[in-house]
């Protein structure tokens, strides 16, 4: 027996059939439009990057466990990009002399991480990245808060469906030192513990706290900090609060658009101040959808010039899960609108003329590749989703006419070739037209 290759995609990757792609294109099209209304321009970059740019500032989890790496024939260590931010920082640094700041850019790359596939996590995903470079003003944070809400609204989401939770690395470090009295060398592991606070039971968290050197009293105090939420900021010194972008945001008109939450840590090492995550509020999908923050030192990996940055990444898996949970996924809209059917080989020329005129008005139009029985071709057109067919028959064509049939109503009429587009458009406007 012959052995065939598997038809399954590599574990953690996905095939997108035409209906899937139609839904994705609609979703991301709305997001592109929302982003561009804020003046952001689209860019792209290579899928392969030197490993070093991730080792320098990405999270340890990504570098040590999730990178897809290879060595090329020149001995260079490369990685399939797991994220886009280090790449865009490299591009900004490499084009400093050509750019006028602030720079507003966005992209939609596919990224790769060797993760254990599960709900919300795959090994290849597409991620919308939005970044602003060149301003240290807290107005940047305000703009991104407004942008996030505009993007969610473009997908049909209402404010009760999600929450934008925001924190600040400056304030978090102050909480560790001033409230918890954690020494500097424990800052990273305690931040990691805080990041896991809602994901693990208290017994497990207490064990982890002991392993990183926290006393029972410090662990109890950490729990009190979590419970206090925004109120813990009142315990911080004036000096700590003065260095925080979040405190400035809390004094702006965007205050009501966020929830201040010290639990938000974010795993990447390059964040320097404000960080945020957007969470689904539905109990069936109560998880982080996407997030980002301020990274004022990342461009400094490539140049001595200081270029502050702020950005976020929105992955396709979690946002599609969100839309599915809330019944917001659009219906596929990639069917054929009309099929032009010649009844004999010598009628293909006028059939192609009619098809071209229909396509010129934006209608998705096909013609059969072979002549078959008319009834079968009409049935095939109906199954393809077409709303109408244009029949080019011998007797009609002798007088310069074709027949337009509405497949929903069954009504048909003879029209001259130069009038076919008007009649077909009217047929598509009648009840029964496929939803857009």
Other C-beta atoms lying within 10 Å of the C-beta of residue 45: 16
Residue 268, C-beta contacts closer than 8 angstroms, at least 6 positions apart: 57, 58, 59, 83, 85, 295
Cis peptide before 239 (omega within 30 of 0): no
Just give the CATH number of 338-429: 3.40.50.800
Other C-beta atoms lying within 10 Å of the C-beta of residue 360: 10
In 3D, which of 435, 349, 432 has the Cα closest to residue 388?
432
- The Cα 254–Cα 242 span in angstroms is 19
pLDDT of residue 269: 72
Residue 375, C-beta contacts closer than 8 angstroms, at least 6 positions apart: none
pLDDT of residue 57: 67
Query: Contact at 8 Å (CB) between 197 and 214?
Result: no
Residue 359 has pLDDT above 70, yes or no: yes
The token pair that represents 177 in the structure block: 């030192």
Mean residue pLDDT across the chain: 91
- The Cα 171–Cα 184 span in angstroms is 14
Query: Contact at 8 Å (CB) between 294 and 310?
Result: yes
- The Cα 247–Cα 245 span in angstroms is 5
In 3D, which of 33, 65, 71, 64 has the Cα closest to residue 50?
71
pLDDT of residue 59: 67
Q: 19: which DSSP letter?
A: H
The arrangement of strands across the sheet holding 68-71 comes to: 48-50, 77-80, 68-71
pTM: 0.88
Other C-beta atoms lying within 10 Å of the C-beta of residue 365: 22
The token pair that represents 332 in the structure block: 């596929």
Percent of the chain with pLDDT over 90: 69
pLDDT digits (tens, 9 = 90+) for 256-284: 999 999 778 876 677 889 999 999 999 99
User: Domain residue spans in the chain?
Assistant: 18-325, 338-429
pLDDT digits (tens, 9 = 90+) for 211-221: 988 888 888 98
Q: Which CATH number fits domain 18-325: 3.40.980.10, 3.30.70.2190, 2.40.50.140, 3.30.930.10?
A: 3.30.930.10
Residue 89 has pLDDT above 50, yes or no: yes
Q: Please, what is the end-to-end C-alpha distance for the chain in angstroms?
A: 47
- The Cα 13–Cα 42 span in angstroms is 25
**DSSP one-letter string for 103-158:** EEEEE--EEE-----BTTB-SEEEEEEEEEES--STHHHHHHHHHHHHHHHHTT--
pLDDT digits (tens, 9 = 90+) for 113-124: 998 877 767 999
Give the chain's count of helices (H) and strands (E): 16, 17
pLDDT digits (tens, 9 = 90+) for 8-60: 999 999 999 999 999 999 999 999 999 999 999 999 999 999 999 888 866 66
The b/e string for 71-96 (b: 16+ C-beta within 10 A; e otherwise) is eeeeeeebbbbbbbbbbbbbbbbeee
pLDDT of residue 87: 93
In 3D, which of 161, 155, 120 has the Cα closest to residue 282?
161
Query: Contact at 8 Å (CB) between 427 and 404?
Result: yes
Identify which has the larger pLDDT, 334 or 43. Answer: 43
């Amino acid at each position: 027996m012959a052995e065939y290759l598997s038809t399954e995609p590599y574990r953690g990757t996905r095939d997108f059939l035409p209906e899937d792609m139609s839904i994705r294109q609609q979703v991301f099209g709305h997001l592109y439009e929302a982003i561009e209304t804020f003046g952001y321009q689209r860019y792209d970059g290579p899928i392969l990057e030197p490993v070093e740019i991730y080792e320098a500032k990405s999270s340890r989890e990504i570098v040590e466990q999730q990178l897809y790496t290879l060595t090329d024939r020149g001995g260079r260590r490369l990685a399939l990009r797991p994220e886009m931010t280090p790449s865009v920082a490299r591009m900004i640094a490499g084009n400093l002399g050509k750019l006028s700041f602030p720079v507003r850019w966005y992209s939609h790359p596919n990224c790769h991480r060797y993760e254990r596939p599960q709900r919300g996590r795959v090994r290849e995903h597409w991620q919308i990245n939005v970044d602003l470079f060149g301003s240290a003003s807290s107005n940047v944070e305000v703009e991104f808060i407004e942008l996030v809400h505009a993007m969610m609204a473009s997908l049909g989401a209402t404010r009760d469906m999600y929450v934008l939770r925001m924190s600040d690395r400056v304030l978090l470090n102050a909480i560790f030192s001033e409230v918890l009295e954690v020494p500097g060398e424990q800052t990273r592991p305690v931040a990691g513990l805080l990041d896991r606070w809602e994901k693990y039971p208290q017994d497990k968290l207490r064990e982890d706290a002991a392993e990183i050197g926290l006393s029972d009293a410090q662990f109890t105090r950490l729990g009190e900090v979590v419970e206090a939420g925004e109120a813990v900021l009142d315990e911080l010194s004036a000096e700590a609060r003065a260095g925080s972008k979040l405190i400035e945001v809390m004094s702006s008109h965007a205050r009501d658009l966020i929830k201040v939450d010290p639990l938000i840590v974010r795993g990447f090492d390059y964040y320097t101040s404000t960080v945020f995550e957007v969470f689904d509020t539905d109990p069936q999908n109560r998880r982080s959808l996407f997030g980002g923050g301020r990274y004022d030192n990342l461009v400094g990996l490539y140049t001595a010039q200081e270029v502050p940055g702020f950005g976020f990444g929105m992955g396709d898996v979690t946002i599609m899960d969100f839309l599915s949970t809330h019944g917001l996924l659009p219906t596929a809209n990639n069917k054929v609108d009309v099929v032009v059917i010649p009844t004999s080989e010598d009628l293909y020329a006028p059939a192609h003329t009619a098809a071209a005129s229909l396509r010129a008005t934006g209608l998705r139009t096909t013609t059969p590749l072979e002549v078959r029985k008319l009834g079968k071709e009409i049935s095939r057109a109906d199954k393809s989703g077409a709303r109408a067919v244009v029949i080019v028959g011998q007797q009609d064509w002798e007088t310069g006419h074709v027949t337009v049939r509405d497949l929903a109503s069954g009504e048909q009429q003879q029209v001259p070739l130069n009038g076919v587009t008007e009649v077909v458009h009217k047929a598509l406007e009648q009840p029964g037209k496929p939803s857009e």
